[in-house]
Amino acid sequence: MQKIFPPTLHDRGVIARWRAWLPDITDATPVVSLNEGSTPLIHSPRLSALVGRDVRVFLKYEGLNPTGSFKDRGMTVAVSKALEAGARSILCASTGNTSAAAAAYAARAGLACIVLLPAGKIALGKLVQAIAYGAKIVTIDGNFDDALQLVRELADDPAIAIVNSINPHRLEGQKTASFEIIAELGDAPDAHFLPVGNAGNISAYHRGYREWLTLGRATRAPRMIGWQAAGAAPIFHGQPVAKPETVASAIRIGNPASWSLASAAVAESGGAVDIVSDDEILAAQSWLARHEGIFVEPASAASVAGLLKCVRQGGECHAPASGTIVCTVTGHGLKDTVTVLDRAAALAPPVPAKREAILAALDEN
């Protein structure tokens, strides 16, 4: 059979770049990739200055993955393994980004994709993605936790592969972000801040850092500092939240699937899980866009909101007084435009297409 793509065209994806550290991947695994990963690690001079003279803050900009979130890193591995295992369809519950990634990688692989979405709780851009990539969408009267429970109940058909983060291949793919950070900084950071929803990503990052520490490719593993939204903070409170509520829909989760893995990651790294309010999340989202030119979706801003909270609180917070902090910003701002538009002032009516009219309009602003 003629190969459509020479292998060199796939040499930039997560599997191609980090294959040596992905034991799930064998020669028998058909690689399904969209050249995900290798996202920018952007130095933030303004955040660094806010936190302290001896601190360098970097943003791992995961919104620049092919479907606009870090979910692509796990999905390339999960969908490749599903194809290898002979699955015909993939299935997931989603707050939006998992379904966007699943639908895209399924299309790439020639698999059907079924997504269960909590009705009315998905950011529009993410829903648009699932539609555009041709997923079969079922919306349910219930929240994400209900949808994930239903996915578990549908798990018995061998032709259907579940690609939620309860699929262990997902976390394997996601751990590669830590490798990229170490490769770029020359060592692991001192602290790593990230939003926590279903708690897979904090577990995956920790695993990546630990693996390279063990191999001597880094001299330390960072303290993992996870941020939950105040209205959806089961790990922080130590008990499930029946009706999680937050503007940050990607972390609106009341009973995280990777709760115990995340707790272990936090304990082993000397880290913490803490909370930020919706106002703090939205303020951080706006701050990041206006001060650094980086537009992220609300959930992504939770990591930066946490750092800004640390700055306000001073001493007793989770930011080290010196060294390097990485904040993962997990998804692209264009996925959730309504949240920004709802808070923006209405656009003024159009003015005549004349120089004077423009100057007058600018004067009024």
Ligand X SMILES: *Cc1c(COP(=O)(O)O)cnc(C)c1O
Write the DSSP symbol of residue 331: B
Write the DSSP symbol of residue 64: G
Near ligand X in 95-134, by CB under 6 A: 97
Structure tokens at 89: 């369809």
Write the DSSP symbol of residue 57: E
195 makes contact with ligand X (CB under 6 A): yes
Whole-number Å distance between alpha carbons of 147 and 139:
9
CB of 54 to ligand X, least distance (A): 29
301 makes contact with ligand X (CB under 6 A): no
Structure tokens at 16: 């191609």
Which secondary-structure segment (H or E) carries 91? strand 89-93
299 makes contact with ligand X (CB under 6 A): yes
**Of 188, 251, 273, 294, the one binding ligand X by CB under 6 A:** 251
CB of 144 to ligand X, least distance (A): 9
In this structure, which amino acid lies at residue 180? E
- Residue 165 or 339: the one with the smaller Cβ distance to ligand X is 165
Whole-number Å distance between alpha carbons of 31 and 81:
8
Structure tokens at 208: 């990546």
241 makes contact with ligand X (CB under 6 A): no
Name which of 73, 117, 68, 123 is nearest 91 in CA terms.
Answer: 117
- Residue 66 or 195: the one with the smaller Cβ distance to ligand X is 195
CB of 267 to ligand X, least distance (A): 17
CB of 71 to ligand X, least distance (A): 6
Q: For the window 155-194, what string marks contact with ligand X as x by the rule CB under 6 A?
A: ----------x-----------------------------
CB of 72 to ligand X, least distance (A): 10
Angle, helices 124-132 vs 97-109, to 10°: value is 10
246 makes contact with ligand X (CB under 6 A): no
CB of 255 to ligand X, least distance (A): 12
339 makes contact with ligand X (CB under 6 A): no
**Of 29, 33, 67, 69, the one binding ligand X by CB under 6 A:** 69
**Of 17, 56, 71, 318, the one binding ligand X by CB under 6 A:** 71
User: Within a 13 Å sphere around the CA of 167, how many CA atoms are in the beta-carbon half?
Assistant: 29
What SS3 string covers 206-240? Answer: HHHHHHHHHCCCCCCCCEEEEEEECCECHHHHCCC
Number of H helices, E strands in the chain: 15, 10
Whole-number Å distance between alpha carbons of 329 and 140:
28
Q: For the window 268-297, what string marks contact with ligand X as x by the rule CB under 6 A?
A: -----------------------------x
Binding site for ligand X (CB under 6 A): 69, 71, 97, 165, 195-201, 250-251, 297, 299-300, 330-331
